[in-house]
A and B are shown apart, each in its own frame.
Chain A
Amino acid sequence: MDAIRKKREIDRLEKDVEELRRLASKGSDEELERLHREVEELKREFYRHLGAWQRTQLARHAHRPYTLDYINMLFEEWCELHGERGFADDPAIVAGLARFHGQACVVVGHQKGRDTKQKVLRNFGMPKPEGYRKALRVMQLAAKFRRPIFTFVDTPGAYPGMDAEERGQAEAIARNLREMARLPVPIIVTITGEGGSGGALAIAVGDRVNMLENSIYSVISPEGCASIMWREAARAEEAANALKITAHDLLQIGIVDEIVPEPEGGAHHDPEGAARLLEPVLARTLEELLPQPPEKLLKARYEKFRRMGQNVIS
Chain B
Amino acid sequence: MAWFKREKKSLESVPPDERRVRTEGMWIKCEACAAILWKKDLDTNWQVCPKCEHHFKLGSVKRLELLLDDAEWTEHDAALASNDPLAFVDTKPYKLRLKDAQKKLGMADAILTAEGHLNGRPLICCSMEFGFIGGSMGAVVGEKVTRAIELCLEKQLPLVIVSCSGGARMMEGTISLMQLAKISAALARLDDARLPFISILTDPTTGGVTASYAMLGDLNIAEPGALIGFAGPRVIEQTIRQKLPEGFQRSEFLLQHGFLDAVVHRRDLKRYISTSLDFFLA
Contact = CB atoms under 8 A, between A and B. Distances in A.
Nearest to B220: A171
B185 A308 contact: no
Given A229-B170, A244-B174, A168 B142 contact: no
Interface string B146-174: 10000000000000000000001110111
Interface in B191-207: 191-192, 207
A166 B214 contact: no
A182 B240 CA distance: 36
A179 interface: yes
Interface in A261-299: none
B240 A161 contact: yes
A28 interface: no
A311 B186 CA distance: 18
B34 interface: no
Contacts of A245: 173-174
Contacts of A162: 236, 240, 244, 248
Contacts of B81: 313-314
Given A170-B230, A245-B173, A205 B257 contact: no
B175 A309 contact: yes
B185 A305 contact: yes
A306 B236 contact: no
Given A162-B248, A174-B212, A181-B188, A201 B170 contact: no
Contacts of B143: 309-310, 313
A175 interface: yes
Q: Name, among A169, A311, A312, the residue most crowded by chain B CB atoms within 10 Å (CB to CB).
A: A312
Given A312-B172, A313-B139, A255 B178 contact: yes
A312 B139 contact: yes
Interface in B83-117: 83-86, 88-91
Interface stretch (A6-14, A88-96, A103-111, A212-220): A212-220
Interface in A186-230: 197-198, 201-202, 204-205, 217-220, 225, 228-230
A305 B139 CA distance: 12
A198 B172 contact: no
Interface residues of A, number: 53
A115 B258 CA distance: 37
B146 A168 contact: no
B211 interface: yes
B249 interface: yes
A178 to B, nearest CB: 4
B176 interface: yes
Interface string B179-191: 1111011111101
B177 interface: yes
Interface string A140-174: 00000000000000000011111011111111011
Interface string B242-256: 001000110000000
A157 to B, nearest CB: 9
Contacts of A314: 80-81, 83
A255 B187 CA distance: 20
A220 B232 CA distance: 13
A271 B168 CA distance: 34
B60 interface: no
A181 B213 CA distance: 14
A133 interface: no
B167 to A, nearest CB: 9
Interface in A230-276: 230, 242-245, 250, 253, 255
Nearest to B150: A306
A219 B170 contact: yes
B181 A218 contact: no
Contacts of B83: 312-314
B133 interface: no
B208 interface: yes
A182 B230 contact: no
Contacts of A175: 215-216
A308 B181 CA distance: 9
A112 interface: no
B128 to A, nearest CB: 16
Given A160-B231, A219-B170, A310-B143, A301 B249 contact: no
B182 A305 contact: yes
Nearest to B84: A312
A74 interface: no
A164 B236 CA distance: 10
A177 interface: yes
9 contacts: A164-B231, A171-B215, A174-B212, A198-B211, A242-B173, A306-B185, A309-B172, A312-B175, A313-B143
Given A168-B258, A229-B91, A253-B175, 10 more contacts: A161-B239, A175-B216, A201-B177, A219-B174, A219-B176, A244-B86, A305-B182, A306-B185, A309-B142, A310-B139
Interface of B: 80-86, 88-91, 138-140, 142-143, 146, 168-170, 172-182, 184-189, 191-192, 207-208, 210-216, 229-231, 235-236, 239-240, 244, 248-249, 257-259
